[in-house]
């Protein structure tokens, strides 16, 4: 039985990847951080009682800033594959916490590579590094492929740039199977609530149910190549199963404005939204409402721009070229953007309908902080 170690198992991708690897028969080990509230909501359905026999799912406390912890876990587990998904992954927050982001997202990767090397596991253990389309940053060329130059535009992207190159360097210097998946944005009903797609689908669901008046967003002009996280974790797995270790771009090859994602999300609940104005004065308002279940007044302003969500340096356009992954890995995504939006909206409408019931019954409801 193969053993996999996943850092960031409590995050969006970690949850889907753990599920995938368990289905494939792996023994899965995950690193969770100690927190004052339980942070395993995304993987609770995978939990197995450690007292039972034949348990294949194990969680360990750990942190990528703690070398001794990283070394001990790898020594104890002796994994065949490590998926390094742990990160401070929010680009806007990386401007507020640049040093911590560098520690986790940059040096955290080094700690894993060095642990594998020091423990003499270079022949046995394959390492997947969660690299990102944020590396392309300031547009040098589109579509962006494995050969497009990088120009990172945030402390997050600069930290991930170090992680990218240290992975390449360990591969070349020590002949390790250490590879980068350069993944473009991928979303799902498990996406963190403060990333733009989930913020939109949660906001739209609450507006449709009469729980909220308006969503405040930042730059509506930026363009992203959005795929579904379920498809992207399949790619991570495939990247580690190849004969030769290589880096791959994973993307859909289609880019969409944030503004249009907003319109698509409203359309899922039968609400048509148009935008007027420019820049910070831009507002989105309702022009039609075709679903009797979700009635919102025509003309009502439901989207506004708040400059607090702007970034000091923005990445305007991401559009990936997944040709290499499709040809060499035979990677075939199952979801396109409309299917992704449908999946996310269905999940959030369901979530907030439950919330509404609780609310009506006088119970404490979900917190709405952005
Ligand atoms: P999430 O933010 O959902 O998950 C991040 C995970 O990392 C969480 O489990 C988090 O733990 C954990 N983590 C944070 N800090 C540390 C730390 N100091 N030590 C150990 N673990 C830590 O991210 P995603 O699942 O969306 O992304 C997975 C990886 O892929 C990340 O590295 C991200 O940067 C990268 N990536 C993501 C893309 C995307 O579009 N989703 C695109 C390209 C790359 P906790 O739950 O306790 O906070
Ligand atoms: P990104 O994702 O920065 O691409 O990083 P995010 O969803 O945060 O932003 C996408 C774009 O939307 C614009 N935007 C807003 N963003 C947020 N979060 N909140 C808002 O209110 C808002 N309004 C507009 C942003 O300015 C940006 O242009 C994600 C993360 O998962 C990274 O870890 C990963 O590496 C990259 O995707 C690929």
DSSP string, 181-242: EEEPPEE-TTS-TTSHHHHHHHHHHHHHTTS-S-EEES-SS-EE--EEHHHHHHHHHHHTTS
Check which CATH number belongs to the domain holding 65 and give it.
3.40.50.720
Q: Is 345 helix (H, G, I), strand (E, B) or coil?
A: helix
Asked if 154 and 23 sit in the same domain, the reply is: yes
Paired with 305 in beta bridges are 217
DSSP letter assigned to residue 361: T
Kind of pairing between the strands at 256-257 and 215-217: unpaired
Any catalytic annotation for residue 156?
A: yes
Measured between alpha carbons, how far is 216 from 370 in angstroms, rounded to an integer? 9
Task: Say yes or no: CB of residue 289 within 6 Å of ligand 2.
Answer: no
Asked if residue 17 lies in contact with residue 6, where contact means CB atoms within 8 angstroms, the answer is yes
Tell me whether residue 228 is in a domain. Answer: no
How is residue 97 written in tokens?
A: 């916490």
Q: Which ligand is nearest to the CA of 91?
A: 2
Counting ligand 2 atoms within 8 A of each CB, the residue from 132, 152, 195, 214 with the most, and so the one to mutate, is 195
Asked if 103 and 67 sit in the same domain, the reply is: yes
Task: Say yes or no: CB of residue 311 within 6 Å of ligand 2.
Answer: yes
Spell out the per-residue pLDDT of the chain, length 370, in tens.
999 999 999 999 999 999 999 999 999 999 999 999 999 999 999 998 888 888 999 999 999 999 999 999 999 999 999 999 999 999 999 999 999 999 999 999 999 999 999 999 999 999 999 999 999 999 999 999 999 999 999 999 999 999 999 999 999 999 999 999 999 999 999 999 999 999 999 999 999 999 999 999 999 999 999 999 999 999 999 999 999 999 999 999 999 999 999 999 999 999 999 998 767 778 999 999 999 999 999 999 999 999 999 999 999 999 999 999 999 999 999 999 999 999 999 999 999 999 998 888 888 776 655 5
Asked if residue 226 lies in contact with residue 264, where contact means CB atoms within 8 angstroms, the answer is no
Asked if 30 and 136 sit in the same domain, the reply is: yes
Asked if 284 and 175 sit in the same domain, the reply is: no
Asked if 77 and 118 sit in the same domain, the reply is: yes
Measured between alpha carbons, how far is 11 from 80 in angstroms, rounded to an integer? 21
| Number of domains the chain contains | 2
How is residue 147 written in tokens?
A: 């050969």
pTM: 0.97
Nearby residues of 327 by Cβ (< 8 Å), 6 or more positions away: none
Q: What is the ipTM of this complex?
A: 0.99
Measured between alpha carbons, how far is 106 from 58 in angstroms, rounded to an integer? 26
H or E segment at 261? helix 258-268
Asked if 52 and 74 sit in the same domain, the reply is: yes
Crossing angle of the two packed helices 155-174 and 108-118, in degrees rounded to 10: 20
Tell me whether residue 58 is in a domain. Answer: yes
Closest CA to 85 of 22, 3, 18: 18
> Before 143, cis peptide (omega within 30)?
yes
Residue closest via CA to ligand 2's atom 33 equals: 89
Listed residues 153, 183, 213: the one ending a domain = 183
State in Å, rounded, how far the first CA of the chain is from the last one: 42
Radius of gyration of the chain (CA): 21
Asked if residue 76 lies in contact with residue 29, where contact means CB atoms within 8 angstroms, the answer is no
Q: For Cα atoms 195, 218, 93, give the angle at the middle one, nearest 5 degrees.
A: 50
Q: Give pLDDT, residue 369.
A: 55
Task: Tell me how far the alpha carbon of residue 311 lies from the centroid of ligand 2, in angstroms.
Answer: 10
Asked if 286 and 158 sit in the same domain, the reply is: no
Asked if 349 and 206 sit in the same domain, the reply is: yes
How is residue 108 written in tokens?
A: 């955290």
Counting ligand 1 atoms within 8 A of each CB, the residue from 8, 39, 70, 337 with the most, and so the one to mutate, is 8
Tell me whether residue 137 is in a domain. Answer: yes
Which structural domain range is residue 54 located in?
3-183
Q: Give pLDDT, residue 370.
A: 53
Tell me whether residue 229 is in a domain. Answer: no
Any catalytic annotation for residue 132?
A: yes
Asked if residue 191 lies in contact with residue 197, where contact means CB atoms within 8 angstroms, the answer is yes
Ligand 1: lining residues by beta carbon, under 6 Å: 7-8, 10-14, 31, 33, 35, 39, 63-65, 85-89, 104, 130, 132, 183, 185-186, 192
Check which CATH number belongs to the domain holding 201 and give it.
3.90.25.10
pLDDT digits (tens, 9 = 90+) for 81-93: 999 999 999 999 9
Asked if 170 and 56 sit in the same domain, the reply is: yes
Q: Give pLDDT, residue 276.
A: 86
């Amino acid at each position: 039985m193969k053993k996999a170690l996943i850092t960031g198992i409590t995050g969006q991708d970690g949850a889907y990847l753990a599920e995938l690897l368990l289905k494939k028969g792996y023994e899965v080990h995950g690193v969770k951080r100690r927190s004052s509230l339980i942070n395993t909501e995304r993987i609770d359905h995978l939990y197995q009682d450690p007292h039972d026999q034949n348990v294949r799912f194990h969680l360990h406390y750990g942190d990528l800033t703690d070398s001794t912890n990283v070394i001990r876990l790898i020594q104890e587990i002796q994994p065949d594959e490590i998926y390094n998904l742990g990160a401070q992954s929010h680009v806007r927050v990386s401007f507020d916490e640049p040093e911590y982001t560098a520690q986790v997202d940059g040096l955290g990767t080094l700690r894993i590579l060095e642990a594998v090397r020091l423990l003499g596991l270079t022949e046995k253990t394959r390492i997947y590094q969660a690299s990102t389309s944020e590396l392309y940053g300031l547009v040098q060329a589109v579509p962006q492929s494995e050969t497009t130059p990088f120009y990172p535009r945030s402390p997050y992207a600069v930290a991930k740039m170090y992680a990218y190159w240290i992975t390449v360097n360990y591969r070349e210097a020590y002949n390790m199977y250490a590879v980068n998946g350069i993944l473009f944005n991928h979303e799902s009903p498990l996406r963190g609530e403060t990333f733009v797609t989930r913020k939109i689908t949660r906001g739209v669901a609450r507006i449709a149910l009469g729980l909220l008046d308006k969503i405040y967003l930042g730059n509506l002009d930026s363009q992203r190549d959005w795929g579904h996280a379920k498809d992207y974790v399949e790619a991570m797995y495939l990247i580690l199963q190849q004969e030769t270790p290589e880096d791959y771009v994973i993307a859909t090859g289609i880019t969409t404005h944030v503004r249009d994602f907003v319109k698509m999300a409203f359309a899922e609940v039968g609400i048509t939204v148009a935008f007027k104005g420019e820049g910070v004065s831009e507002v989105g308002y309702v022009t039609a409402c075709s679903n009797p279940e979700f009635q919102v007044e025509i003309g009502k302003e439901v989207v506004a721009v708040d400059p607090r969500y702007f970034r000091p340096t923005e990445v305007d356009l991401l559009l990936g070229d997944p040709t290499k992954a499709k040809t060499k890995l035979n990677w075939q995504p199952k979801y396109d953007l409309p299917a992704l939006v449908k999946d996310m909206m269905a999940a959030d409408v369901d979530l907030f309908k439950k919330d509404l019931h609780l609310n009506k019954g006088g119970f404490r409801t979900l917190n709405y902080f952005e």
